[in-house]
A and B are shown apart, each in its own frame.
Chain A
Amino acid sequence: MSFDVDIAKRLGDRDIGARFSAGEGVTALFGPSGVGKTSILNMIAGLMRPDTGRIAVAGEMLFDARARIDLPPEKRRLGYVFQDARLFPHKRVRANLLYGHDIAPLAERWMSLDEAVEFLGIRPLLDRWPRSLSGGEAQRVAIGRALLSAPRFLLMDEPLSSLDRPRREEIMTVIERIATELKLPILYVSHDRAEIDRLADTVIMLE
Protein backbone atom coordinates (compact mmCIF):
# COMPACT_ATOMS: atom_id res chain seq x y z
CA MET A 1 0.00 0.00 0.00
CA SER A 2 1.56 3.27 -1.03
CA PHE A 3 0.56 6.86 -0.96
CA ASP A 4 1.73 9.35 -3.58
CA VAL A 5 1.11 13.03 -3.06
CA ASP A 6 2.18 15.97 -5.18
CA ILE A 7 -0.08 18.96 -4.53
CA ALA A 8 0.01 22.73 -4.34
CA LYS A 9 -2.47 25.38 -3.36
CA ARG A 10 -2.45 29.12 -2.85
CA LEU A 11 -4.30 30.08 0.35
CA GLY A 12 -4.53 33.83 0.79
CA ASP A 13 -0.94 34.99 0.37
CA ARG A 14 0.61 31.65 1.32
CA ASP A 15 1.76 28.88 -0.98
CA ILE A 16 1.09 25.45 0.46
CA GLY A 17 2.48 22.38 -1.16
CA ALA A 18 3.87 18.93 -0.55
CA ARG A 19 5.44 16.21 -2.61
CA PHE A 20 6.11 12.81 -1.08
CA SER A 21 5.44 9.11 -1.11
CA ALA A 22 4.45 7.19 1.98
CA GLY A 23 4.31 3.46 2.54
CA GLU A 24 3.88 1.10 5.47
CA GLY A 25 4.16 2.28 9.06
CA VAL A 26 4.00 5.83 10.33
CA THR A 27 4.97 8.62 7.94
CA ALA A 28 5.34 11.95 9.69
CA LEU A 29 4.82 15.32 8.06
CA PHE A 30 6.98 17.57 10.17
CA GLY A 31 7.26 21.33 10.10
CA PRO A 32 6.73 24.51 12.11
CA SER A 33 3.25 25.86 12.86
CA GLY A 34 1.73 27.80 9.98
CA VAL A 35 3.40 25.84 7.20
CA GLY A 36 0.03 24.41 6.18
CA LYS A 37 0.25 20.87 7.53
CA THR A 38 -3.44 20.69 8.36
CA SER A 39 -4.35 22.08 4.92
CA ILE A 40 -2.30 19.30 3.31
CA LEU A 41 -4.18 16.65 5.29
CA ASN A 42 -7.49 18.34 4.41
CA MET A 43 -6.56 18.24 0.72
CA ILE A 44 -5.65 14.56 0.96
CA ALA A 45 -8.94 13.83 2.77
CA GLY A 46 -10.91 15.72 0.14
CA LEU A 47 -12.10 18.48 2.47
CA MET A 48 -10.12 21.09 0.53
CA ARG A 49 -9.32 21.17 -3.18
CA PRO A 50 -5.70 21.63 -4.30
CA ASP A 51 -5.04 24.03 -7.20
CA THR A 52 -2.77 21.60 -8.98
CA GLY A 53 -1.24 18.16 -8.62
CA ARG A 54 -2.30 14.63 -7.88
CA ILE A 55 -3.03 12.28 -4.98
CA ALA A 56 -3.01 8.50 -5.35
CA VAL A 57 -3.51 5.65 -2.89
CA ALA A 58 -2.36 2.16 -3.89
CA GLY A 59 -2.43 3.22 -7.55
CA GLU A 60 -5.98 4.60 -7.33
CA MET A 61 -6.21 8.25 -8.28
CA LEU A 62 -8.07 10.28 -5.62
CA PHE A 63 -7.27 13.63 -7.17
CA ASP A 64 -5.71 14.62 -10.45
CA ALA A 65 -6.04 18.24 -11.51
CA ARG A 66 -5.07 17.50 -15.10
CA ALA A 67 -7.44 14.54 -15.55
CA ARG A 68 -10.16 16.37 -13.61
CA ILE A 69 -10.43 13.59 -11.05
CA ASP A 70 -11.60 14.72 -7.62
CA LEU A 71 -13.18 12.02 -5.47
CA PRO A 72 -15.43 13.36 -2.70
CA PRO A 73 -14.22 12.59 0.87
CA GLU A 74 -16.72 9.76 1.35
CA LYS A 75 -15.26 7.88 -1.64
CA ARG A 76 -11.62 8.11 -0.53
CA ARG A 77 -11.77 5.58 2.32
CA LEU A 78 -9.32 7.46 4.50
CA GLY A 79 -9.74 7.66 8.26
CA TYR A 80 -9.14 11.13 9.67
CA VAL A 81 -8.33 11.80 13.33
CA PHE A 82 -8.53 15.52 14.01
CA GLN A 83 -6.66 17.66 16.49
CA ASP A 84 -9.86 18.13 18.47
CA ALA A 85 -11.72 14.82 18.59
CA ARG A 86 -14.63 16.34 16.67
CA LEU A 87 -17.15 13.80 17.99
CA PHE A 88 -20.81 14.28 17.08
CA PRO A 89 -22.28 15.99 20.18
CA HIS A 90 -25.81 14.66 19.61
CA LYS A 91 -24.75 11.01 19.50
CA ARG A 92 -23.54 8.78 22.31
CA VAL A 93 -20.10 7.19 22.10
CA ARG A 94 -21.52 3.97 20.65
CA ALA A 95 -23.33 5.83 17.85
CA ASN A 96 -20.22 7.90 17.16
CA LEU A 97 -18.15 4.73 16.83
CA LEU A 98 -20.67 3.11 14.51
CA TYR A 99 -21.27 6.17 12.31
CA GLY A 100 -18.81 5.23 9.56
CA HIS A 101 -18.97 1.50 10.31
CA ASP A 102 -22.64 1.33 9.37
CA ILE A 103 -21.96 3.09 6.07
CA ALA A 104 -18.96 0.98 5.02
CA PRO A 105 -19.85 -2.01 2.82
CA LEU A 106 -19.72 -5.32 4.74
CA ALA A 107 -16.92 -6.71 2.57
CA GLU A 108 -14.65 -3.76 3.32
CA ARG A 109 -15.02 -3.75 7.11
CA TRP A 110 -11.97 -5.18 8.80
CA MET A 111 -12.75 -4.47 12.44
CA SER A 112 -15.86 -5.06 14.55
CA LEU A 113 -17.21 -2.75 17.25
CA ASP A 114 -16.14 -5.30 19.89
CA GLU A 115 -12.60 -5.50 18.53
CA ALA A 116 -12.27 -1.71 18.38
CA VAL A 117 -13.66 -1.27 21.90
CA GLU A 118 -11.27 -3.94 23.21
CA PHE A 119 -8.30 -2.53 21.29
CA LEU A 120 -8.84 0.99 22.67
CA GLY A 121 -10.10 0.03 26.15
CA ILE A 122 -13.22 2.17 25.88
CA ARG A 123 -15.95 -0.29 26.89
CA PRO A 124 -17.05 1.77 29.93
CA LEU A 125 -17.57 4.80 27.69
CA LEU A 126 -20.06 3.32 25.23
CA ASP A 127 -23.20 4.87 26.71
CA ARG A 128 -21.66 8.24 27.56
CA TRP A 129 -22.22 11.53 25.73
CA PRO A 130 -19.17 13.15 24.10
CA ARG A 131 -19.34 16.28 26.29
CA SER A 132 -18.82 14.13 29.40
CA LEU A 133 -15.53 12.67 28.12
CA SER A 134 -12.03 13.84 29.04
CA GLY A 135 -9.66 14.87 26.24
CA GLY A 136 -7.89 11.50 26.20
CA GLU A 137 -11.14 9.52 26.25
CA ALA A 138 -12.57 11.62 23.42
CA GLN A 139 -9.44 11.09 21.32
CA ARG A 140 -9.64 7.31 21.84
CA VAL A 141 -13.25 7.34 20.68
CA ALA A 142 -12.29 9.48 17.67
CA ILE A 143 -9.57 6.98 16.75
CA GLY A 144 -12.04 4.11 17.15
CA ARG A 145 -14.59 5.91 14.99
CA ALA A 146 -12.00 6.34 12.21
CA LEU A 147 -10.76 2.72 12.46
CA LEU A 148 -14.32 1.36 12.31
CA SER A 149 -15.08 3.23 9.08
CA ALA A 150 -12.85 0.67 7.30
CA PRO A 151 -10.12 3.03 6.08
CA ARG A 152 -7.13 2.04 3.93
CA PHE A 153 -4.99 4.76 5.44
CA LEU A 154 -5.18 6.86 8.59
CA LEU A 155 -4.60 10.62 8.62
CA MET A 156 -3.75 12.10 12.02
CA ASP A 157 -3.54 15.82 12.64
CA GLU A 158 -1.62 16.49 15.86
CA PRO A 159 -3.85 14.11 17.81
CA LEU A 160 -1.86 14.63 21.03
CA SER A 161 -1.71 18.41 21.13
CA SER A 162 -4.70 18.93 23.42
CA LEU A 163 -3.70 16.21 25.90
CA ASP A 164 -1.65 16.24 29.12
CA ARG A 165 1.57 14.20 29.40
CA PRO A 166 0.26 10.87 30.79
CA ARG A 167 -2.61 10.94 28.24
CA ARG A 168 -0.13 11.59 25.43
CA GLU A 169 1.84 8.52 26.43
CA GLU A 170 -1.31 6.38 26.30
CA ILE A 171 -2.41 7.62 22.89
CA MET A 172 1.13 7.25 21.48
CA THR A 173 1.07 3.60 22.51
CA VAL A 174 -2.28 3.23 20.74
CA ILE A 175 -0.85 4.80 17.56
CA GLU A 176 2.16 2.46 17.63
CA ARG A 177 -0.13 -0.53 18.00
CA ILE A 178 -2.30 0.64 15.08
CA ALA A 179 0.80 0.63 12.88
CA THR A 180 2.30 -2.64 14.14
CA GLU A 181 -0.70 -4.80 15.14
CA LEU A 182 -3.35 -3.57 12.71
CA LYS A 183 -0.80 -2.86 9.94
CA LEU A 184 -2.66 0.31 9.01
CA PRO A 185 -0.41 2.93 7.40
CA ILE A 186 -0.59 6.32 9.11
CA LEU A 187 0.15 9.79 7.81
CA TYR A 188 0.94 11.76 10.92
CA VAL A 189 1.22 15.53 11.21
CA SER A 190 3.07 17.19 14.08
CA HIS A 191 5.33 20.06 15.03
CA ASP A 192 6.73 18.17 18.06
CA ARG A 193 10.19 16.70 17.51
CA ALA A 194 9.91 14.19 20.38
CA GLU A 195 6.64 12.76 19.08
CA ILE A 196 8.11 12.34 15.62
CA ASP A 197 11.27 10.66 16.90
CA ARG A 198 9.22 8.22 18.89
CA LEU A 199 6.51 7.38 16.32
CA ALA A 200 7.73 7.95 12.80
CA ASP A 201 9.25 5.37 10.48
CA THR A 202 9.70 8.00 7.78
CA VAL A 203 9.91 11.77 8.24
CA ILE A 204 9.00 14.31 5.59
CA MET A 205 10.14 17.83 6.26
CA LEU A 206 7.87 20.68 5.20
CA GLU A 207 9.18 24.21 4.80
Chain B
Amino acid sequence: MLTPEEWGIMLLSLKVSSVAIIATLPLAFALAWVLARRRFPGRFLLDGLVYLPLVLPPVVTGWLLLLAFGNEGPAGRLLEQLFGISLMFRWTGAALAAAIMSLPLMVRAIRLSIEAVDRRLEGAARTLGASPLRCFCTITLPLSLPGVIAGAVLGFARSIGEFGATITFVSNIPDETRTLPLAIYSALQIPGSEASVARLAILSVALSLGAVILSEALARRGQMSERMGHVL
Protein backbone atom coordinates (compact mmCIF):
# COMPACT_ATOMS: atom_id res chain seq x y z
CA MET B 1 0.00 0.00 0.00
CA LEU B 2 2.70 2.47 1.05
CA THR B 3 5.89 2.81 -0.99
CA PRO B 4 9.22 2.21 0.81
CA GLU B 5 9.81 5.95 0.69
CA GLU B 6 6.50 6.63 2.42
CA TRP B 7 7.26 4.02 5.08
CA GLY B 8 10.52 5.84 5.70
CA ILE B 9 8.66 9.13 6.11
CA MET B 10 6.28 7.59 8.61
CA LEU B 11 9.07 5.98 10.62
CA LEU B 12 10.99 9.26 10.67
CA SER B 13 7.88 11.09 11.87
CA LEU B 14 7.32 8.54 14.63
CA LYS B 15 10.98 8.73 15.67
CA VAL B 16 11.03 12.54 15.79
CA SER B 17 7.76 12.72 17.75
CA SER B 18 8.60 9.91 20.19
CA VAL B 19 11.97 11.39 21.05
CA ALA B 20 10.43 14.85 21.37
CA ILE B 21 7.71 13.69 23.79
CA ILE B 22 9.78 11.30 25.89
CA ALA B 23 12.54 13.88 26.33
CA THR B 24 10.08 16.70 27.14
CA LEU B 25 7.77 14.83 29.50
CA PRO B 26 9.86 15.31 32.69
CA LEU B 27 10.27 19.03 31.89
CA ALA B 28 6.56 19.35 31.13
CA PHE B 29 5.70 17.68 34.44
CA ALA B 30 8.10 19.91 36.38
CA LEU B 31 6.68 23.05 34.75
CA ALA B 32 3.10 21.88 35.32
CA TRP B 33 3.82 21.13 38.97
CA VAL B 34 5.50 24.49 39.57
CA LEU B 35 2.66 26.37 37.85
CA ALA B 36 -0.01 24.39 39.70
CA ARG B 37 1.50 24.44 43.16
CA ARG B 38 3.98 27.25 43.62
CA ARG B 39 3.44 30.98 44.00
CA PHE B 40 6.55 32.98 43.13
CA PRO B 41 7.48 36.25 41.46
CA GLY B 42 7.64 35.77 37.72
CA ARG B 43 5.08 32.97 37.72
CA PHE B 44 2.89 34.78 35.20
CA LEU B 45 5.88 35.36 32.97
CA LEU B 46 6.77 31.65 33.07
CA ASP B 47 3.13 30.79 32.41
CA GLY B 48 3.16 33.08 29.38
CA LEU B 49 6.46 31.75 28.04
CA VAL B 50 5.27 28.13 28.26
CA TYR B 51 2.09 28.92 26.34
CA LEU B 52 3.77 31.22 23.83
CA PRO B 53 4.38 28.55 21.12
CA LEU B 54 0.64 27.88 21.16
CA VAL B 55 -0.22 31.39 19.99
CA LEU B 56 2.92 32.50 18.14
CA PRO B 57 3.09 31.91 14.37
CA PRO B 58 5.10 28.65 14.11
CA VAL B 59 7.41 30.34 11.60
CA VAL B 60 8.42 32.79 14.32
CA THR B 61 9.09 29.97 16.77
CA GLY B 62 11.24 28.31 14.11
CA TRP B 63 13.13 31.53 13.47
CA LEU B 64 13.75 31.98 17.24
CA LEU B 65 15.06 28.41 17.38
CA LEU B 66 17.33 29.26 14.48
CA LEU B 67 18.64 32.29 16.36
CA ALA B 68 19.24 30.30 19.54
CA PHE B 69 20.40 26.95 18.19
CA GLY B 70 21.91 27.98 14.86
CA ASN B 71 25.66 27.80 14.37
CA GLU B 72 25.97 31.42 15.46
CA GLY B 73 23.36 31.20 18.25
CA PRO B 74 24.35 31.01 21.94
CA ALA B 75 22.71 27.62 22.59
CA GLY B 76 23.99 26.24 19.29
CA ARG B 77 27.55 27.31 20.04
CA LEU B 78 27.35 25.82 23.54
CA LEU B 79 26.17 22.44 22.19
CA GLU B 80 28.92 22.51 19.57
CA GLN B 81 31.64 23.26 22.13
CA LEU B 82 30.46 20.90 24.86
CA PHE B 83 29.29 17.90 22.86
CA GLY B 84 30.35 18.63 19.32
CA ILE B 85 26.77 18.33 18.09
CA SER B 86 24.64 20.58 15.96
CA LEU B 87 20.88 20.44 15.66
CA MET B 88 20.85 22.37 12.40
CA PHE B 89 19.35 20.42 9.50
CA ARG B 90 19.28 17.27 11.65
CA TRP B 91 16.34 15.15 12.76
CA THR B 92 17.24 16.03 16.36
CA GLY B 93 16.49 19.65 15.47
CA ALA B 94 13.11 18.55 14.14
CA ALA B 95 12.53 16.79 17.47
CA LEU B 96 13.42 20.00 19.33
CA ALA B 97 10.99 22.02 17.23
CA ALA B 98 8.27 19.40 17.79
CA ALA B 99 8.98 19.39 21.53
CA ILE B 100 8.72 23.18 21.85
CA MET B 101 5.47 23.22 19.90
CA SER B 102 3.94 20.38 21.97
CA LEU B 103 5.07 21.65 25.35
CA PRO B 104 2.12 23.99 25.97
CA LEU B 105 -0.45 21.24 25.38
CA MET B 106 1.42 18.80 27.62
CA VAL B 107 1.94 21.30 30.42
CA ARG B 108 -1.71 22.30 30.26
CA ALA B 109 -3.08 18.75 30.49
CA ILE B 110 -0.67 17.75 33.25
CA ARG B 111 -1.29 20.95 35.19
CA LEU B 112 -5.05 20.37 35.20
CA SER B 113 -4.56 16.85 36.49
CA ILE B 114 -2.21 18.01 39.27
CA GLU B 115 -4.68 20.71 40.26
CA ALA B 116 -7.38 18.03 40.42
CA VAL B 117 -5.47 16.04 43.06
CA ASP B 118 -7.13 16.51 46.45
CA ARG B 119 -4.42 18.09 48.58
CA ARG B 120 -6.11 16.85 51.74
CA LEU B 121 -5.08 13.35 50.68
CA GLU B 122 -1.48 14.54 50.70
CA GLY B 123 -2.02 15.91 54.22
CA ALA B 124 -3.39 12.54 55.30
CA ALA B 125 -0.33 10.81 53.85
CA ARG B 126 1.98 13.15 55.78
CA THR B 127 0.23 12.42 59.10
CA LEU B 128 0.74 8.72 58.34
CA GLY B 129 4.50 9.29 58.25
CA ALA B 130 5.19 10.00 54.58
CA SER B 131 7.97 12.47 53.77
CA PRO B 132 7.18 15.07 51.09
CA LEU B 133 9.04 12.96 48.49
CA ARG B 134 7.25 9.74 49.43
CA CYS B 135 3.95 11.60 49.47
CA PHE B 136 4.67 12.89 45.95
CA CYS B 137 5.63 9.45 44.61
CA THR B 138 2.78 7.49 46.22
CA ILE B 139 -0.10 10.01 46.15
CA THR B 140 0.39 13.03 43.87
CA LEU B 141 2.06 11.27 40.94
CA PRO B 142 -0.25 8.22 40.67
CA LEU B 143 -3.37 10.37 41.08
CA SER B 144 -2.26 12.73 38.30
CA LEU B 145 -1.03 9.93 36.02
CA PRO B 146 -4.09 9.78 33.73
CA GLY B 147 -3.56 13.45 32.92
CA VAL B 148 0.16 12.90 32.37
CA ILE B 149 -0.52 10.10 29.89
CA ALA B 150 -3.28 12.05 28.17
CA GLY B 151 -0.95 15.05 27.93
CA ALA B 152 1.80 12.94 26.42
CA VAL B 153 -0.53 11.44 23.82
CA LEU B 154 -1.93 14.84 22.95
CA GLY B 155 1.58 16.29 22.64
CA PHE B 156 2.53 13.35 20.44
CA ALA B 157 -0.39 14.03 18.11
CA ARG B 158 0.54 17.71 17.96
CA SER B 159 4.18 16.96 17.17
CA ILE B 160 3.27 14.52 14.38
CA GLY B 161 1.55 17.45 12.65
CA GLU B 162 4.30 20.00 13.34
CA PHE B 163 5.19 21.92 10.16
CA GLY B 164 6.04 25.63 10.37
CA ALA B 165 8.69 25.69 13.10
CA THR B 166 10.30 22.54 11.70
CA ILE B 167 10.66 23.68 8.10
CA THR B 168 11.97 27.07 9.28
CA PHE B 169 14.48 25.64 11.73
CA VAL B 170 15.79 22.47 10.04
CA SER B 171 14.52 22.82 6.47
CA ASN B 172 13.00 19.99 4.44
CA ILE B 173 15.67 17.34 3.90
CA PRO B 174 14.63 13.86 2.71
CA ASP B 175 15.35 11.09 5.24
CA GLU B 176 16.55 13.62 7.82
CA THR B 177 13.93 16.29 8.54
CA ARG B 178 11.17 15.50 6.04
CA THR B 179 8.40 14.38 8.38
CA LEU B 180 4.82 13.63 7.29
CA PRO B 181 3.52 17.19 6.89
CA LEU B 182 6.70 18.30 5.14
CA ALA B 183 6.49 15.30 2.79
CA ILE B 184 2.89 16.15 1.96
CA TYR B 185 3.91 19.73 1.26
CA SER B 186 6.75 18.55 -1.01
CA ALA B 187 4.53 16.09 -2.87
CA LEU B 188 2.03 18.86 -3.51
CA GLN B 189 4.74 20.75 -5.42
CA ILE B 190 5.20 17.86 -7.85
CA PRO B 191 2.53 17.47 -10.58
CA GLY B 192 1.04 13.98 -10.78
CA SER B 193 1.73 12.91 -7.20
CA GLU B 194 -1.90 13.22 -6.03
CA ALA B 195 -2.04 9.55 -5.02
CA SER B 196 0.99 9.90 -2.82
CA VAL B 197 -0.43 13.05 -1.22
CA ALA B 198 -3.68 11.22 -0.50
CA ARG B 199 -1.93 8.23 1.08
CA LEU B 200 0.25 10.44 3.29
CA ALA B 201 -2.75 12.56 4.25
CA ILE B 202 -4.78 9.48 5.23
CA LEU B 203 -1.82 8.25 7.26
CA SER B 204 -1.63 11.59 9.00
CA VAL B 205 -5.35 11.60 9.77
CA ALA B 206 -5.15 8.04 11.14
CA LEU B 207 -2.21 8.83 13.44
CA SER B 208 -3.76 12.03 14.78
CA LEU B 209 -7.22 10.58 15.22
CA GLY B 210 -5.82 7.53 16.98
CA ALA B 211 -3.84 9.71 19.37
CA VAL B 212 -6.76 12.00 20.17
CA ILE B 213 -9.13 9.08 20.76
CA LEU B 214 -6.55 7.43 23.01
CA SER B 215 -6.07 10.67 24.90
CA GLU B 216 -9.82 11.11 25.38
CA ALA B 217 -10.23 7.51 26.55
CA LEU B 218 -7.44 7.95 29.09
CA ALA B 219 -8.85 11.25 30.30
CA ARG B 220 -12.28 9.67 30.72
CA ARG B 221 -10.76 6.78 32.59
CA GLY B 222 -9.21 9.31 34.93
CA GLN B 223 -12.70 10.82 35.30
CA MET B 224 -11.36 14.13 34.12
CA SER B 225 -13.02 14.39 30.73
CA GLU B 226 -14.76 17.60 31.71
CA ARG B 227 -11.56 19.27 32.79
CA MET B 228 -9.61 17.99 29.82
CA GLY B 229 -12.25 18.77 27.24
CA HIS B 230 -11.16 22.28 26.44
CA VAL B 231 -7.52 21.32 26.01
CA LEU B 232 -8.41 20.33 22.49
Contacts and interface: CB of A to CB of B under 8 A. Distances in A.
Contacts of B127: 45-47, 73-74, 76, 78-80, 146, 149
Given A47-B123, A73-B123, A80-B124, A88 B139 contact: yes
B129 A149 contact: yes
Contacts of B143: 89-90
Interface residues of B, number: 17
Interface in B118-149: 120-121, 123-132, 134, 138-139, 142-143
Nearest to A155: B127
A100 B128 contact: yes
Contacts of B123: 42, 45, 47, 73
A99 B134 CA distance: 11
The listed residue with most B CB atoms (<10 A of its CB), out of A76, A100, A104, A146, is: A100
A103 B128 contact: yes
B121 A88 contact: yes
Contacts of B129: 74, 77, 100, 103-104, 149
Contacts of B121: 86, 88-89
Task: Please classify the interface of chain B as helix (H, G, I), strand (E, B), loop, or mixed, using the class held by over half of its residues.
Answer: helix
A72 interface: yes
Contacts of A88: 121, 124-125, 139
Nearest to B135: A74
Contacts of A89: 121, 143
Nearest to B138: A99
B134 A82 contact: no
Nearest first, the 10 A-B pairs at minimum CB distance are: A100-B128, A73-B126, A103-B129, A80-B127, A149-B128, A86-B124, A47-B123, A74-B129, A73-B127, A100-B129
19 contacts: A45-B123, A46-B127, A47-B123, A47-B126, A47-B127, A74-B130, A74-B131, A77-B129, A79-B128, A86-B120, A86-B124, A88-B124, A89-B121, A90-B142, A99-B125, A100-B128, A100-B129, A103-B130, A149-B128
Interface of B: 120-121, 123-132, 134, 138-139, 142-143
